[in-house]
Amino acid sequence: MLRSRLSRERDFIHLADVKPRLNAQIVWERRRRRNVHWLAECAAEFVGTFIYIGIGYAIGVVLAFVVTQPTSGGHYNPGVSIAFAIMRRISPQKALRYIVAQILGAYCACLLIYVQYGDAIKQVEAELSAAGTLASTLFTPSGPAGVFAIYLAPGTSFGRVFLNEFVCDFVIGLVIWAVDDPSNHTVSPVAAPWIIAFVFALMVWSYSSVGGEYIVSAKNHADALPLLTQPWIDSSHVSVATNTARDLGARLMAITIWGLEAGGGPYAAITALTNILATSLAAVFYELVFADYSRVLTPASADLLAAQVAYNEHASRTVAVTELERDVSPDDKAIEQTLERV
């Protein structure tokens, strides 16, 4: 019923109708749709999280959506993937694959940043060691490891950390669910990445400390590293992770470089798991309180959903034709066999 209503009186032009492809591309695309579409989705989540974490919040989120959202849906966050699984929008198996890809993407992004600015970081470590403060500051928001992983500031309670993280993540979850609502006439699908990026940036800039997330969000700039040695840095405030993949990926990277001491102890559980709880509760809250399934879809959302239906139909027809093909040219057969071996 949904397919017929969305596709009615619509004439879609597919990319294959207007853009030429190599024979190898055609064969690979058929293979990918039939057997390894999950791999493309995981690659999209990996690359999206890599861009989002590597560049930082705000524009990094937008670029991640632009590059990979059409392939995977643009989660980049285990909390979002789990919330989608809870609401039965994706399968638990797909959510698990996404989470692994997201954490790996964040890990590789942080590792690449360390390689890029390794000399500057080592110089800061040497200066702190010469001053006799390296041991006491290394695994703090003001220390070199704090450029990547989030650590508990001295004198900060776990309760305060949890409250700060939960509130920020809950608000982010509400905004994500609101812009994903196809009946929300205040926002179009085109504006969604910008709004999500804005709320992420707003939470980080407004509810995290100078000594913690400020440096993390500026970690791609060489001028952020000298800040570590400045005496005016205030490390008495709490930081905010907003993303389990960002927290776990960065923490695993810190453990890779500085050893198990970089784990963060009980504090790491709060920053890693609170996001999942808050985002899932935000999704449930929105569905129970704000969502109304009698509302009418916005024209832009209806067009987007109709295009998705048309894509699924076109892809399934292509796969069906491939299954029934008996007359395959020798060149195509050789290409297909090569791809299978790879």
pLDDT per residue as tens digits for the range 99-123: 999 999 999 999 999 999 989 999 9
228 Cα distance to chain centroid: 27
For residue 101, count other CB atoms closer than 10 A to its CB.
26
What six digits make up the tokens of 125? 């470590």
Lowest mean pLDDT among 63-67, 252-256, 263-267, 321-325: 321-325
**pLDDT over 80 at 330, yes or no:** no
Look at residue 301 in the predicted model and tell me its pLDDT: 86
Per-residue CA distances from 225 to 110, 123, 143, 150, 151 (Å): 14, 10, 10, 15, 17
**pLDDT over 90 at 284, yes or no:** yes
Segment 120-157, tens digit of pLDDT: 999 999 999 999 888 888 998 888 998 899 888 877 88
| Residue 88 exposed, middle or buried by CB count within 10 Å (0-12, 13-18, 19+) | exposed
Helices (DSSP H) in 56-191: which residue ranges?
59-72, 78-86, 92-116, 118-130, 134-137, 158-179
Q: What is the mean pLDDT of the chain?
A: 80
More confident residue, 330 or 171: 171
- Please state the pTM of the whole predicted model: 0.77
**Mean local confidence (pLDDT), 273-286:** 95
Domains and CATH numbers, the chain: 36-296 (1.20.1080.10)
Q: Which of 219, 239, 240, 243 lies closest to 153 in space, CA to CA?
A: 239
Q: 23-34 vs 299-324: helix axis angle to the nearest 10?
A: 100
Residue type, position 236, single letter:
S
Look at residue 338 in the predicted model and tell me its pLDDT: 53
Look at residue 109 in the predicted model and tell me its pLDDT: 92
